[in-house]
Amino acid sequence: MPELPDVECFRRIMADCARDRIVERVDVADAGVLHGVSKQRLKRELEGSRFGEPWRHGKWLIAPSDGTTVILHFGMTGSLLCCSRDDPPEAHDRVILTLGNGRQLRYRDQRKLQGLRVAGSDAAVEKILASQGPDALTISRSEFNTALEGRRGRIKGVLMDQSVMAGLGNLLVDEILWRARVAPARRADGLAEHERRDVHTAMGRVLRSAVRVGCVPARRSWLTGHRDAPHPACPRCGQPLRRDRMSGRTTVWCPHCQH
DNA sequence: TTGGTTGTTATTAT
DNA sequence: AATAATAACAACCA
């Protein structure tokens, strides 16, 4: 699931559950999700530390504490939950942080594609985020145009490239291009000025409403509500949608609306 | 059993 | 050299 709006939701959960709280205990059920830090060192550096204000860049969640900074990525199946310590643990709860308020913050992830890492300084945080472009939620029109400049690849792939701008995934990109009526196979640097404007506007609207809900919603009025149907029809014009493999992902689009 | 998955990274191709 | 397109990763489901 996790694209920018989902991670923004996890940031809120983190803030409500753990901000200003002390980590009483760190339990690592599966060290396979730890990157560049051992179970022992994570416990040593985090237990007794107090969390500060968490923030997000693209699909990364950064949670500073007065001990070390925890950095989470949710891959395709990760999530973050604020539980009571009595809630029964689930099979995929990989890391559990027990906080001073009796709550537990659980990093749950079925597949272990990404995971948890730590950074001991601002410079170490920067290093992890170094390859990320500007955050898609706050990128301006002119920054957006600059990001697309000289990109010969398909707009679909370019918008999913986290180094161009950070936060968009497969579902969001399809939704945005459908709203902007731009075909996903178009070359990014071949878009007219008005098309770039429409894509930027659609991106802002899609992201803001998804962030408000806390996830990418499957709505009937959105493309997302139709993409998994056996013979999906465009919710705008009723013509059949196409499902193609593009830039390595399943891409759903409307050949009648998008050019 | 095979094919597919809303993410990233390393490798290969252009 | 810089970009773009693929394969691989892990674990599960249909």
Across chain A, mean pLDDT equals 94
The two structure tokens encoding residue A228: 């998994």
Please give the nucleotide, over all strands, whose C1' is closest to the CA of residue A174. Answer: B6
**pLDDT confidence of residue A108:** 94
**What's the rounded Cα separation, in Å, for the pair A212 and A220?**
17
A191: confidence class by pLDDT, cuts 50, 70, 90: very high
DSSP of A17-69? HHTT-BEEEEEES-GGGB-SS-HHHHHHHHTT-BB---EEETTEEEE-BSS-E
pTM, two decimal places? 0.96
Q: What CA–CA distance (Å, rounded) separates A92 from A75?
A: 14
Nucleotides of C under 7 A from a protein CB: 3-12
- Give the Cβ contact number of residue A217 at 10 Å: 15
DSSP A109-163: ESS-SSEEEEESSHHHHHHHHTT--SBTTT--HHHHHHHHTT--SBHHHHHH-TT
Q: Which DSSP letter does residue A190 get?
A: G
Positions on chain B within 7 A of a protein C-beta: 4-9
A111 strand C contact, CB < 7 Å = yes
Predicted local distance difference test score (pLDDT) of residue A7: 95
Q: Check if residue A73 sits with its Cβ under 7 angstroms from strand B.
A: yes
A61 touches strand B (CB under 7 A): no
Give the whole-angstrom CA distance, residue A116 versus residue A108: 11
Does the nearest atom of strand B lie within 7 Å of A218's Cβ?
no
Q: State the nearest residue by CA to the C1' of B5.
A: A76
Mean pLDDT of A32-56: 95
Q: pLDDT by residue (tens digit) across A211-232? A: 999 888 889 999 999 988 888 9
What percent of chain A is predicted at pLDDT more than 70?
A: 100
CA–CA separation, A238 vs A153, rounded Å?
29
Determine if strand C comes within 7 Å of the CB of A192: no
